[in-house]
Amino acid sequence: MSYEPMAVMMNTDFPGNPDNYIRLEWLDNGAFGEVWKVQHQQTGNIYAAKEIAYRGHHDDEECIVRERSALLCLKHDGIIKLVDIVVLPSQIWLVEEFADLGSLQDAKELHKTLGDNDKVNLVRQIIQAVQCCHQCRIAHMDINPRNVLLVSPLTLKLADFGQALFNVKSIPEGEEYLGDSKYLPPEILCRDKYYPTAVDIWSLGCVVFYIFAREHIFHGTSKQIIQQQKKYCRTHDLPSCLSGCTLTKSTRLFLCKTLIHRPQLRPLADTLEKIANRVGLFES
């Protein structure tokens, strides 16, 4: 894949000592390695440690370079914080802020207790996190409910930057891509030329729907999702399996502004709060 990884050197401020941590609990199998709940022995603080295997040198692994570089660059309340890097002979640990409540996808029961104003507040936070990424010329490229973490019922953090792209305007068609197809835009699923920041805008729109409806807006195989996307972009009608979902007019209008089939016509992240205000979403 042709992309420009940021030239971010290893931060020597990190102690990087594996003896500082005790494994407490296995959390997840991520796309690039296991995630463990760990405790710092001296402070007692709880963190999440991503353990990523590598061969040769850790800087030869794109996912490591991308996640480390993005988190060292991005300093924002809505983005998960990198607190330590531990380099072992065949494995690197990226020690990150721990989200007590897991991912947005995990928190379905909690989600049922949220009021409309709470959901609007979460939408504002994810918009601001994506704005920060794009202002730093970073596209996340894998925004979906599993990668949006909750550190409290009303505070979210964008995480998992292993597929992030840097300083890229467009990618040639036909590129292989990993990700949750329910949250990928038409151009990715069809292997057309794509614009990384526009990919994020589409995925963000899908996450906004999930925050309000507790459902994925698109379902099925990639082929089925492509057909659902075409129909939605043409009619703005939800797939038939979601006929029971009730959305406010302002939410529907916001989705229409982000889930646009042609990536060149999707808005910039910096305009999303203005759009949300204009359609009345932030007045809920």
The mean pLDDT values, 10 residues at a time, for the chain of 284 residues are: 42 72 90 90 95 80 89 95 92 94 87 89 98 96 96 95 84 70 96 93 97 93 95 89 83 96 97 96 80
Domains plus CATH for the chain?
Answer: 18-97 (3.30.200.20), 108-283 (1.10.510.10)
pLDDT at 256: 96
SS3 sequence, 97-133?
Answer: ECCCCCECCCCHHHHHCCCHHHHHHHHHHHHHHHHHH
Helices and strands (H and E) in the chain: how many: 8, 9
Helical H segments across 139-194, by residue range: 186-189
Residues 6+ apart with CB under 8 A from 130: 140, 143, 158, 200, 201, 204, 269, 272
SS3 call for 158: strand
Distances (CA, A) of 277 to 17, 76, 120, 124, 254: 47, 22, 11, 10, 9
- Is the pTM higher than 0.85? The answer reads yes
SS3 call for 194: strand
- In the block, which residue shows the tokens 């949220």? 114
SS3 call for 73: helix
142 a catalytic residue: yes
Residue 155 tokens, joined = 């505070």
pLDDT at 2: 37
Q: Are 108 and 214 in contact (CB under 8 A)?
A: yes
pLDDT at 260: 97
Which position among 142, 180, 200, 237 bears the catalytic label?
142
For residue 190, give the nearest of 226, 139, 234, 239 by alpha carbon.
226
pLDDT at 1: 35
Q: Are 153 and 114 in contact (CB under 8 A)?
A: yes
Q: Are 140 and 151 in contact (CB under 8 A)?
A: no
The span from the CA of 222 to the CA of 186, in Å, is 9
Residue 38 has, within 13 A of its CA and on its CB side, a CA count of 25
Residue 129 has, within 13 A of its CA and on its CB side, a CA count of 28
The span from the CA of 220 to the CA of 182, in Å, is 8
